[in-house]
Amino acid sequence: MSWSKLKQQLESFLSPALQGRVEYRAAGYRYSPDKPGLCYISVDKKNVLYMGDKASVIRWYESELDVKNDADIQIPITGEEIEAVRTSAQGNVPEDRLHVIARNRKMTKLAKELLSAQTTLSKSNFIVTANKFLSTSIEESLESHDILLNILALADRRVGKKRILNMTDSIKSKHPAVQYFYKLRLGTC
């Protein structure tokens, strides 16, 4: 599918409140078909999603430590996770320490997932991901670890106000780019 038709189709799925505000752009390389195209998503005529831009309003992580030190990421710990730490420790570990150990394990796993998703985004081809979005269900796109699929789904009109409000807890562990578009969409509900 040509880029103009794909862009038209993506923008037809935009939430009515975001139409005219959100624009999809892609730059391909005509003479280098093996090189991935760059994707830009602009909001109110400003490029918001482009990893190469250091002045971006979205924070891009450079290391696992950056993710762990980000105060915006909140990790909920369940009783099952604390119990798993207790059984793996096989000893007397103070109760408050179990919570810290469980949180650190979960944070390490999340940091690796976020860095992996961020790396995939920088190497991805926007057109391939957009076609995948159009051919998969909205639930799969929302639950995916792919940042771009999450963003496209959040901007979609098929995601209603009730679903947006119910995602508050799950969005806290997503990449800041996804959180930005969640807040944008939440502000229009």
In a domain, 94, yes or no: no
Residue 23, strand partner residues = 42
pTM of the model: 0.71
Angle between helices 147-154 and 95-123 (to 10 degrees): 90
> What is the DSSP code string of 19-40?
BTTEEEEEE--TT-TTSPPEEE
pLDDT of residue 28: 57
Q: How many domains does the chain have?
A: 1
Within-domain flag for 147: yes
Asked if pLDDT for residue 27 goes beyond 60, the answer is yes
Q: Can you give the pLDDT at residue 66?
A: 84
pLDDT one-digit tens code per residue, 68-108:
888 777 788 888 988 888 888 887 888 888 888 888 888 88
The answer to whether residue 142 is domain-embedded is: yes
Q: Which position has the token pair 């998969």?
A: 136
- Return the ∠ at Cα 149 (arms to 64 and 47), rounded to 5°: 80
Please tell me the predicted confidence (pLDDT) of residue 29: 57
Residue 137 lies in a domain: yes
Is residue 9 in some structural domain? yes
Domain residues for the domain of 153 are: 3-63+115-188
Mean pLDDT, rounded, of the chain: 82
